């Protein structure tokens, strides 16, 4: 799974990423209206600027305060979960059973 994440980052953004940790897997059947998808999110670093590649039309950087809207699928939730984690909330509290059932 890690090698696939590194490969996809390279294909879509031209970035060589270093995976720091696996954050969470999202698997709500309603997260993508086309079909049930599962996304595993990794926290990663890179040292260059992204460039669109493969099937990505463009790649840009955004500050957390100026994210584009709307975001597709449940990506807003994923970013919100990550920000809670960065602020020190334990993943067990972010991903409690009650939170997963919302």
* Catalytic one of 8, 11, 12, 58: 58
Q: Annotate the chain with DSSP letters as a single string.
A: -HHHHHHHHHHHH----EEEEEEEEE--TTSSTTS---EEEEEEE-SS-----TT-S------GGG--SSPSTTHHHHHHHHHHHHTT--HHHHT-HHHHT-
| Catalytic status, residue 2 | no
* Catalytic residue annotation: 58
């Amino acid at each position: 799974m890690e090698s696939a994440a590194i490969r996809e980052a390279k294909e879509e953004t031209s970035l060589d990423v270093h995976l720091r940790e696996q954050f969470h897997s999202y698997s709500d059947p309603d997260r993508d209206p086309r079909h049930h998808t599962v996304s595993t999110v990794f926290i990663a670093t890179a040292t260059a600027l992204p460039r669109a590649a493969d099937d990505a039309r463009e790649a840009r950087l955004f500050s957390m305060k100026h994210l584009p809207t709307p975001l597709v699928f449940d990506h807003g939730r994923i970013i919100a979960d990550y920000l809670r984690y960065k602020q020190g909330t334990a993943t067990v509290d972010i991903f409690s059973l009650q939170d997963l059932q919302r």
